[in-house]
Amino acid sequence: MSDTYKGSERRNREIERFEIIVIGSGPAGHKATIQAAKAGKRVLLIERETDVGGACVHRGTIPSKTLRETALAFTAFDAKTSGMFPVALREDLEVASLMTRMEDVIRAHERFMSEQLRRNGARKIHGRARFLDARTVEIETVQGERRRASGDVIVIATGSRPRTPADVPVDHDKILDSDSLLSMTWLPRSLVVLGAGVIACEYATIFAALGTKVTMVDKGPRPLGFLDSEIVDLFVTAFTRAGGIYLGGRKHAKVAWDGVEHVVTTLDDGTELRSDRLLCCLGRVANVDGLDLAAAGLAVNDRGVIPVDANCRTSVPHIYAVGDVIGPPSLASSSMEQGRRAVCDALGIELSHGSETIPAGIYTIPEMSQVGLTDLETIKKYGGCLVGRARFEELARGQISAIQDGLLKLVADPGGKHVLGIQIVGEGACELIHVGQMALINDFGVDGFVDNIFNFPTLAEAYRVAALDIVKQRNKLFPVADATPAVGTPAVAVEPAPHKPS
Amino acid sequence: MVDGVKTSACSGSVAETVERFRSHFLSRIRGAKFELPLLPEAANRVMQVAGDENADARKLAEVIRSDASLAGHVLRIANSAIYAPTTPIVSLQQAISRLGMNKIREIALVIATQTKVFKVAGYDAQVRAIFKHSIAAAAYSQEIARLRRWNVEDAFLTGLLHDTGKPVLLQLLVEVQKELKLGVEVGIVDDLLEQMHAGVGSRLVESWKLPERLAETIAYHHRPHEAPTTTQAAMTLNLADELAHLAVGPREVTEESLRTHPMLEPLNVYRDELDGLLKHKEMVKSMAEAVL
Ligand SMILES: Cc1cc2nc3c(=O)[nH]c(=O)nc-3n(C[C@H](O)[C@H](O)[C@H](O)COP(=O)(O)OP(=O)(O)OC[C@H]3O[C@@H](n4cnc5c(N)ncnc54)[C@H](O)[C@@H]3O)c2cc1C
């Protein structure tokens, strides 16, 4: 028997003990680990990839946003110079040349995350984890060694990956998913995108801005069904103006590579699309294969995700699950919060009241963002609502920066006093939303926006314009200011404005 | 043994002969304009498929993709002044998409009729083995890239072209031997090939105006850790090279040795993933054998 064999045998039998074990180093697992380490706990982080960071750093958020920045510089130049210097990307451009900064951005972020782990004294093992029982995990290293560790608390943060329907032959070469899209060699002249969720819309608009002829196909009548439809309609207008086509109410019937130069997509209505490349964005699945959840007494629900309570605790009390593996909202931001929350709950660290107001930021071109209730949700809950609107082209900043298709909607209670939700489309939406989010959380009120002074010229002025719009409607409805009903009093049912901007 | 002439056919010690040969060979290589010759059967296949107006475009695309020399020449011509792309064509697929199948057909016919055909008596089998190995390496390289979600087209192309330095060198070696009227031992030829093929292949790819990263990957495929910018791609190619030897040779490699291959760890290939790659062996083998 060789020494190494004896060594690994011994290690096999030995079980190293930890207070907290975290599986997966994406935003959720990373935050959970840091929180545990900061609380002085002996913590182990297990990651199967060579580098930490998860989908967020390596396959999603950061790479897509880096490419977006290039696309944006390109469209912004065109808009700001009113097309005086016609710019067109050269055909045959290599995708890598559009992302020269990506490697640097990823490395910097990854270094920052690793350094944070090291500084806080967290232990990290590179390997794949699976449950042996509810307290013990086995780690398989890339060299094929197996070792064991046990934890008083175990946090599952294994994330998600793109779903590949059986009838879409994803080969990561011509038919790609969001994990492989950016590995493409050259900028395709045409791209069909299946799906119209966040990732689909982000990539569709980025490539359209880069000059690719993009066709998005989805069964929904409009993309991003969960967003305010007025906002989405403006987004579709912008996408169409950039040369994109949205084919709603349809589904792919067949996808195949023709063996020569095109991916041929046949839709259920008989339409045939031919494109250089295809991006399959039909949802994501939780990474649970290989984890052997059953050994820990756990199972996924009918949506394929691990069910948890408000503090991310699973049905086995000392096991938590956080991030994409528990399903929507599936954002890096919410994943981090869940990671922190789970560990605080496990360690009995007092948690501030969980905020219900998680904003959604969608980095399409133009950006979209929303927080709180939409007009329809407000009507459903309070029997009515007042909506203030501000169009970016009516703001000085919007004009100067040549921002088209910008709209901010401020949704208030039927009495027009309390802000209940904000929806924005337009460049800067994902930053701008936080002003509204703070107002919402602190019940700052519609009048607060009117009474306070904003920098000029800014896009933030949109809040003021929208608030004034509400005040105008309020004054018409309730000439005596004091007679306005309070939130929740279904006094007057005001229909939301028609969805098409006037 | 070459042309039936044993080492040191002329006067002087073996060492002196080898040295004379080596220095002459090196001086020929310096500044040489390499051309990658075509296997006669590849030329025939192209004539058959491209010459037939009704033949399937898919078939022609396949023929081009499965021959290192054809593929290289297609890219060379696609990047030449005749077609003058605004930015260089970087992959076969792109060449087909941009130029269209009719132009590719024209190009293929030009290549088949005008490219030098291999005349390396005594080395025929070796040259065929190199081409066969290249197809297998391309197939494996693209599988590894797929697994890791890296660029599949680059991986395929570097796999297909990684050993193009060898046939070029062999052709030159035969010429030099004739010029000096001497023969050298097979062992010496092999040593020279091993030492020099990566550099020559890389120069060849560069001369076709393919991206620098492809040339670098090929230059460093035997010492991937030293690659200045393409370590990952060079490591992929290094592993694919070994897997290709396992599937179709010419070097004998065991599965056992692959299980401890030094690239598995840096490429983050787990045991079951390696098993998955090894399972492709028969498929890769039949692919390579279908052509050669
Ligand atoms: C293209 C794209 C764009 C996006 N853009 C945004 C955006 O703009 N804003 C935003 O908020 N969100 C965005 N997201 C979503 C965001 O990336 C995810 O919500 C987030 O990464 C989820 O974090 P996580 O920690 O749950 O999982 P992940 O980031 O997926 O990390 C999970 C980690 O667990 C590891 N792992 C899995 N199984 C095992 C195992 N058995 N053993 C050991 N390790 C394991 C994986 O290797 C991985 O590193 C985007 C996603 C994509 C794909």
Averaged pLDDT score across all residues of chain A: 89
Instruction: State which ligand 1 atom lies nearest to the alpha carbon of A161.
Output: 30
Of the two residues B86 and A493, the one the predictor is more confident about is: B86
- Classify residue A123 as left (phi > 0), alpha (psi -120 to 50) or beta: beta
pLDDT in tens, B52-96: 777 788 888 888 988 999 899 999 988 888 887 777 888 888 888
Does the pLDDT of residue A133 top 60, yes or no?
yes
**Quick one: pLDDT at residue B115?**
84
**Is any ligand 1 atom within 6 A of the Cβ of residue A333?**
yes
In this complex, do B268 and A143 lie within 8 Å of one another by their Cβ atoms? no
pLDDT in tens, A456-473: 999 999 999 999 999 999
In this complex, do A172 and B152 lie within 8 Å of one another by their Cβ atoms? yes
User: With contacts defined as CB-CB under 8 Å, which chain B residues touch A259?
Assistant: 57-58, 61-62
**Quick one: pLDDT at residue B139?**
94
Please name the residues between 130 and 169 in chain B that touch chain A, using a CB distance below 8 Å.
142, 145-146, 149-154
Q: Select the residue from B49, B83, B87, B239 to test the A interface by mutation, using most A Cβ atoms within 10 A.
A: B87
| Chain A residue at shortest CA distance from B154 | A185
- Dihedral of CA B255/B260/B262/B265: which sign? positive
**Is any ligand 1 atom within 6 A of the Cβ of residue A339?**
no
**Is any ligand 1 atom within 6 A of the Cβ of residue A22?**
no
Averaged pLDDT score across all residues of chain B: 86
**Quick one: pLDDT at residue A35?**
97
**Is any ligand 1 atom within 6 A of the Cβ of residue A340?**
no
Domain boundaries, chain B: 123-291
**Quick one: pLDDT at residue B55?**
72
pLDDT band at A82 (very low <50, low <70, confident <90, very high): low
One-character DSSP codes across chain B: -BTTBPBT-SSS-HHHHHHHHHHHHHHHHTT------B-HHHHHHHHHHHH-TTS-HHHHHHHHHT-HHHHHHHHHHHTSTTT--SS---SHHHHHHHHHHHHHHHHHHHHHHHSPBP--TT-HHHHHHHHHHHHHHHHHHHHHHHHHT--HHHHHHHHHHTTTHHHHHHHHHHHHHHHHT-B--HHHHHHHHHHHHHHHHHHHHHHTT--HHHHHHHHTTTSGGG-SS-HHHHHHHHHHHHHHHHHH-SS---HHHHHT-TTTTTTT--HHHHHHHHHTHHHHHHHHHHH-
- Rounded to the nearest angstrom, the distance between the alpha carbon of A405 and the centre of ligand 1 is 31
Nearest to B265 among A140, A142, A172 (CB): A142
The verdict on ipTM greater than 0.85 is yes
Of the two residues B188 and A353, the one the predictor is more confident about is: B188
User: What is the rounded average pLDDT of the residues A370-393?
Assistant: 96
**Cα angle, residue B67 at apex, residues B64 and B70 outer, rounded to 5°:** 60
Does the pLDDT of residue A501 top 70, yes or no?
no
Question: How many Å lie between the alpha carbon of B86 and the closest alpha carbon of chain A?
Answer: 7
pLDDT in tens, B176-188: 888 877 777 777 8
Does the pLDDT of residue B99 top 80, yes or no?
yes
**Cα angle, residue B251 at apex, residues B250 and B257 outer, rounded to 5°:** 140
Mutate which of A51, A61, A66 for ligand 1 pocket (most atoms within 8 A of beta carbon): A61
User: What is the rounded average pLDDT of the residues B164-183?
Assistant: 84
pLDDT band at B4 (very low <50, low <70, confident <90, very high): very low
Overall fold of domain B123-291: Hypothetical protein af1432 (1.10.3210)
**Is any ligand 1 atom within 6 A of the Cβ of residue A415?**
no
pLDDT band at B5 (very low <50, low <70, confident <90, very high): very low
State the DSSP H helix or E strand holding residue A165, giving kind and residue range, or none if neither. Answer: none
Helix runs in A348-428, H state only: 375-382, 396-400
* Contact status of B271 with chain A (Cβ, < 8 Å): yes
pLDDT band at B1 (very low <50, low <70, confident <90, very high): very low
**Quick one: pLDDT at residue A411?**
97
Question: Given the structure tokens 């292949």, which residue do they identify?
Answer: B201
pLDDT in tens, A255-273: 999 988 899 999 999 999 9
CB A331 within 8 Å of CB A338: no
* Contact status of B98 with chain A (Cβ, < 8 Å): yes
pLDDT band at A79 (very low <50, low <70, confident <90, very high): low
User: With contacts defined as CB-CB under 8 Å, which chain A residues touch B264?
Assistant: 142-143
* Contact status of B266 with chain A (Cβ, < 8 Å): yes
State the DSSP H helix or E strand holding residue A277, giving kind and residue range, or none if neither. Answer: strand A277-280
**Is any ligand 1 atom within 6 A of the Cβ of residue A24?**
yes
Mutate which of A137, A163, A287, A371 for ligand 1 pocket (most atoms within 8 A of beta carbon): A287
**Is any ligand 1 atom within 6 A of the Cβ of residue A367?**
no
| Chain B residue at shortest CA distance from A170 | B146
Residue percentage of chain A with pLDDT more than 70: 89
**Quick one: pLDDT at residue B111?**
87
> Which of A301-305, A358-362, B29-33, B214-218 has the lowest average pLDDT?
B29-33
Instruction: State which ligand 1 atom lies nearest to the alpha carbon of A203.
Output: 1
Question: How many Å lie between the alpha carbon of B48 and the closest alpha carbon of chain A?
Answer: 18
Instruction: State which ligand 1 atom lies nearest to the alpha carbon of A339.
Output: 25
Instruction: State which ligand 1 atom lies nearest to the alpha carbon of A330.
Output: 19
**Quick one: pLDDT at residue A83?**
62
**Quick one: pLDDT at residue A147?**
96
Mutate which of A331, A363, A368 for ligand 1 pocket (most atoms within 8 A of beta carbon): A331
Question: How many Å lie between the alpha carbon of B258 and the closest alpha carbon of chain A?
Answer: 12
Residue percentage of chain A with pLDDT more than 90: 74
In this complex, do B93 and A189 lie within 8 Å of one another by their Cβ atoms? no
* Contact status of B55 with chain A (Cβ, < 8 Å): no
Of the two residues B174 and A321, the one the predictor is more confident about is: A321
Nearest to A185 among B62, B94, B149 (CB): B94
- Dihedral of CA A198/A278/A158/A165: which sign? positive
pLDDT in tens, A204-257: 999 999 999 999 999 999 999 999 999 999 999 999 999 999 999 999 999 999
Instruction: State which ligand 1 atom lies nearest to the alpha carbon of A24.
Output: 34
**Quick one: pLDDT at residue A92?**
60
Residue percentage of chain B with pLDDT more than 70: 96
Q: Select the residue from B270, B271, B274, B275 to test the A interface by mutation, using most A Cβ atoms within 10 A.
A: B270
pLDDT in tens, B234-250: 999 999 999 999 999 89
DSSP structure class, residue A94: B
Whether omega before A329 lies within 30 degrees of 0, making that bond cis, reads: yes
In this complex, do B146 and A90 lie within 8 Å of one another by their Cβ atoms? no
> Which of A22-36, A134-148, A487-501, B26-40 has the lowest average pLDDT?
A487-501
User: What is the rounded average pLDDT of the residues A133-157?
Assistant: 97
Nearest to A185 among B86, B100, B153 (CB): B153
A vs B, Cβ pairs < 8 A, gives 85
pLDDT in tens, A22-49: 999 999 999 999 999 999 999 999 999 9
Q: Is A16 exposed, middle or buried (0-12, 13-18, 19+ CB in 10 A)?
A: middle
Question: How many Å lie between the alpha carbon of B145 and the closest alpha carbon of chain A?
Answer: 9
pLDDT band at A386 (very low <50, low <70, confident <90, very high): very high
Q: Which of A280-289, B97-106, B201-210 has the highest mean pLDDT?
A: A280-289
CB A428 within 8 Å of CB A371: no
Of the two residues A127 and B192, the one the predictor is more confident about is: A127
In this complex, do B57 and A173 lie within 8 Å of one another by their Cβ atoms? no
User: With contacts defined as CB-CB under 8 Å, which chain B residues touch A144?
Assistant: 259, 270-271
Q: Which of A51-60, A87-96, A431-440, A486-495 has the highest mean pLDDT?
A: A431-440
User: What is the rounded average pLDDT of the residues A378-395?
Assistant: 95
Question: How many Å lie between the alpha carbon of B223 and the closest alpha carbon of chain A?
Answer: 21
Q: Select the residue from A145, A164, A261, A274 to test the B interface by mutation, using most B Cβ atoms within 10 A.
A: A261
pLDDT band at A102 (very low <50, low <70, confident <90, very high): confident
In this complex, do A142 and B90 lie within 8 Å of one another by their Cβ atoms? no
Does the pLDDT of residue A7 top 90, yes or no?
no
**Is any ligand 1 atom within 6 A of the Cβ of residue A324?**
yes
Edge-first strand listing for the sheet containing A245-247: A175-177, A277-280, A190-194, A213-217, A245-247
Q: Select the residue from B59, B92, B93, B212 to test the A interface by mutation, using most A Cβ atoms within 10 A.
A: B93
- Rounded to the nearest angstrom, the distance between the alpha carbon of A147 and the centre of ligand 1 is 25
User: What is the rounded average pLDDT of the residues B267-278?
Assistant: 96
- Rounded to the nearest angstrom, the distance between the alpha carbon of A325 and the centre of ligand 1 is 9
Question: How many Å lie between the alpha carbon of A93 and the closest alpha carbon of chain B?
Answer: 7
- Rounded to the nearest angstrom, the distance between the alpha carbon of A352 and the centre of ligand 1 is 25
**Quick one: pLDDT at residue A4?**
45
**Is any ligand 1 atom within 6 A of the Cβ of residue A52?**
no
One-character DSSP codes across A186-245: B--SEEEEE--SHHHHHHHHHHHHTT-EEEEE-SSSSS-TTS-HHHHHHHHHHHHHTT-E
pLDDT in tens, A171-185: 999 999 999 999 988
Q: Which domains does chain A have, with CATH numbers?
A: 3-59+100-162+285-357 (3.50.50.60), 175-282 (3.50.50.60), 366-477 (3.30.390.30)
Does the pLDDT of residue A390 top 80, yes or no?
yes
In this complex, do B89 and A91 lie within 8 Å of one another by their Cβ atoms? no
